[in-house]
Amino acid sequence: MADDLRMGWQISAQAHPDHAKWAQYGGRLFATTAWAKVLATLGAEPLHAWHPGRGVGVVVPVFRRFGFRIGFLGLPWAGEEFDAMPAGALAQCAAGIAATARLAFVRVTQGMQMQLDSRAAGVRPEAWIADLPTWRLTDHKRLRKDLAFARRAAPAMELADRGFDAEVCHALYAATVARNSGTARYGPGYFVALAELAIDDPLLAFFVAKEGSRIRGFAVVALHGKVANYLHGAVDAEGRRQGISDLLLERLVSFARDARMQRFTLMASPWTQPGLLRFKEKWADRKGLSVTYDYGYGLLGTCAARASRWRSRQDHISATHISATHAANPEVFRTED
């Protein structure tokens, strides 16, 4: 089944009509031309990859680094069809797309995984709600308590999805990244593009928490297939103490439920931010792994893939423990209230 995935990929700057229909009718935001335009604000050259034999497609943002072309099969995520593929089939996809698009390096991420494949280049912890239609806030005592506290602490807080300055949200994001000694990968233009797309596309929602005219925090959710993805979120220092993040996340979950999503992923978190992971697990009922595969082609690409795997070796140690724990006792991966 994997052999045909090395051949037959149609790659172009514009989506093949069948690709466009597949993405639109399946509610697959990350495979749409609209999302490709958002990724272009990051300095990417977005390509559309369509496999007519399998009837699957993906947007591939291409970046130029160190003199060679780097492609991502979906950013931040390719979708459920690719998540379901074994590592061998995924490698076939990467090789076929890389050959046609002249890529030296390809990265693919599979989300909401329970096992770690030895061929993975990197891995991070991920938390999600596995069955969103049956999820009830009334079943989560701690969440109800934290939400009640947030409403008392910030009684004048309002949530809005229109009429705000997205660059202020970028400033909140950048401050959060700096506080955690991270690297800001998204610029103001990206946040402006997100806010503009959210006005026109029902597959994306961008909410801000406002106190009067002041933006105190924001959160973004994207729908792809039957999965809601918590893309970004940040609040100011006072907002963290008040619990505004919980109010925003409650709104995202409500939006996803109204859209009849099956799962809600809070996305991967760095191992170095256990507090962020605990916050996400508070909302989730499953925890597992976000697994990244890096594929290199030619001398430069192969060296880059090996270097990436070496940098992620500590992730593998942590993830191997998690994977072994799940194999021995799957119930450990159910989060408790």
Digit-coded pLDDT (tens) for 93-123: 999 999 999 999 999 999 999 888 888 888 9
Residue-wise pLDDT tens digits, 182-218: 889 999 999 999 999 999 999 999 999 999 999 999 9
- Give yes or no for a contact between 287 and 333, defined as CB atoms under 8 angstroms apart: yes
Please give the mean pLDDT across all residues of the chain.
91
The Cα-based distances of 311 to 109, 163, 306, 316 in angstroms read 16, 42, 9, 10
Q: Using alpha carbons, select from 148, 95, 87 the residue that is nearest to residue 296.
A: 95
Residue 260 region by backbone torsions, left for phi larger than 0, else alpha for psi between -120 and 50, else beta? left
The b/e string for 295-317 (b: 16+ C-beta within 10 A; e otherwise) is bbbeeebeebbeebbeebeebbe
Q: What angle do CA 289, 126, 32 make, to 5 degrees?
A: 95
CA distance linking residue 82 with residue 322, whole number of Å? 22
Tens digits of residue pLDDT in 207-257: 999 999 999 999 999 999 999 999 999 999 999 999 999 999 999 999 999
Question: Residue ranges of the domains in the chain?
Answer: 3-127+288-333, 132-261
Q: Domain 132-261 in CATH: superfamily?
A: Gcn5-related N-acetyltransferase (GNAT) (3.40.630.30)
pTM of the model: 0.90
Higher pLDDT, 318 or 206: 206
Residue 29: alpha-carbon gap to chain centroid: 12
Tell which residue, 71, 70, 78, 87, has the closest CA to residue 51.
78
Token readout for 314 is: 């500590």
For residues 38 and 197, the answer to whether their CB atoms sit within 8 Å is yes
Are 90 and 291 spatial neighbours (Cβ–Cβ below 8 Å)?
A: no
In this predicted structure, which of 16-20, 27-31, 148-152, 303-307 has the lowest mean pLDDT?
A: 303-307
The CA distances from residue 163 to 6, 193, 252, in Å, are: 46, 14, 18
Radius of gyration in angstroms for the set of CA atoms belonging to the chain, rounded to a whole number:
20
- Please report, in angstroms and rounded to a whole number, the separation of the first and last CA atoms in the chain: 42
